Homo-oligomer: A and B are copies of this chain.
Amino acid sequence: MSELIVKKYGGTSVGSIERIESLADRLVKEIKQGQKPVVVVSAMSGETNRLIGLAEKIDPDYRGSAYDMLIASGEQVSISLLAIALQKRGVKAQPLLGFQLGIRTDSTFAKARIQSIDTDPIFDLVGKSVVPVVAGFQGVDEDDNITTLGRGGSDTTAVALAAAIQGRASCDCEIYTDVPAVFTADPRLVSKARELPSLSCEEMMEMAALGSKVLHIRCVEIAAKYGVKIHLRSTFEEREGTWILPDTPDLATASPATSKGSSTMNIQIEQPVVSAVTHDANTAVFKLFPVPTGPDFLARLFDTLAKKGVVVDIITQSETTEGQRLAFSVTKEDIPLSRQALKDFVPNSEHITLIENMAKISVVGVGMRNHPGVAARFFAVLAKTDVPIHLVTTSEIKISAVIEQGKLKEAAEALHSEFGLDKA
């Protein structure tokens, strides 16, 4: 057990007075067992959306300091209530807002990035046996404007806080969610999906980028950078979940893995080639042919898409004698905006093909680095199960293909089996 432990609870864990009371019960029990928690809390579930709804009724397009101040009030309520519930149980607790903890961010409202955290208030409180209850999702910029961190912001607060604390005391980060662990694949899709006792930050980042919504990519990036160990686990069960660990060499001596049993180490010793199969069922592909050759056209096209806020995922391109052949994938929601942008670049609509109802399927694993031939096996499985591939992209530790949604389950089951993930 680390000296301090950051424990982050999402909106569901504080979604009602009853939930807040039972969370307080659980924290009191753990404190009596010797834990020194630093608690980070999201807004009560539904509250942030309610506040966004109020703002959008006035002006759906407004973004700026007033918007961030508005939605940051949700966490102010939940930390106050949890602190009151802890005090009622005889545990001293102090709610802390972003400005009180000196969580400094840049001024990018609605998606600010943390620049520094002052841990003095944390150590002062812990030294006096007071439990700090920190508002997730918020900070202040250099002009003391309240800022918010965007999606997954409370996870980011928790990991950044653990990273800051580590300068003076060992500190792991527990993130409580409504799923009990990270799985080898989505259990709703792959019947033999299993819980992973641990995986690396790199793998978690790829999985997050590939559509696994368990943890936001930004908090995993911070964990990787500052060597924070994240323990992802269930709010509603007491058993262990999945450890997300900064880097492999450290693992054999890592205190959480070794002190908690051998499961984590075994995983690493076996060095599976692939750790998980992930998917994102929400994909569409645009194919353009023929379009003008040369990088200038590409630069202008993708700049226009970016300015409209379209996130382009996979891009493939090849030059032919009749012109450039281009394909890229976007999420379903971005189809209308993408169409608008394309209109100016490809006046002849016959040269644009939109393929809807696509899905991206991926395999992820740090083991892939040392195992050649993973791509070949990946394509062989898809060929054997008769799944046509529309786009492909690879990185050092993952391979992704865009396929038809109707083939997704079949492909996921086949890949999960092929890479040995079915067996525990």
Interface residues in chain A, defined as those with a beta carbon under 8 Å from any beta carbon in chain B: 17, 20-21, 51, 54-55, 57-59, 62, 64-67, 69-70, 72-73, 76-77, 79-81, 83-85, 87-88, 93-95, 97, 99-100, 144-146
Contact = CB atoms under 8 A, between A and B. Distances in A.
Nearest to A18: B57
Contacts of A55: 80-81, 84
8 contacts: A17-B58, A55-B84, A59-B84, A62-B87, A66-B79, A66-B95, A67-B84, A69-B76
A224 to B, nearest CB: 33
A73 to B, nearest CB: 4
Contacts of A145: 100
A97 to B, nearest CB: 7
B76 A59 contact: no
Contacts of A93: 66
Contacts of A64: 87
Contact of A66 (B62, B65, B80): B80
A62 B88 contact: yes
Contacts of A57: 17
A65 B121 CA distance: 15
- Interface SS, A side: helix
A390 B339 CA distance: 83
Nearest to A144: B100
B77 A94 contact: no
A83 B66 contact: yes
Contacts of A69: 76, 79-80, 95, 97
A85 B64 CA distance: 12
Contacts of A99: 99, 144
The 3 closest A-B pairs by CB, nearest first: A70-B80, A66-B83, A59-B88
Given A62-B88, A69-B79, 9 more contacts: A21-B58, A55-B80, A62-B87, A66-B80, A67-B80, A69-B76, A70-B84, A73-B76, A99-B99
Contacts of A83: 66
Nearest to A94: B65
Nearest to A62: B84
Nearest to A61: B88
Contact of A84 (B58, B72, B76): B58
Nearest to A82: B66
Given A66-B80, A73-B77, A58 B144 contact: no
A1 B84 CA distance: 47
A83 B55 CA distance: 10
A97 B144 CA distance: 10
Contacts of A72: 76
Contacts of A62: 84, 87-88
A65 B125 CA distance: 14
A209 to B, nearest CB: 33
A69 to B, nearest CB: 5
A17 B66 contact: no
A76 B70 contact: yes
A370 B285 CA distance: 90
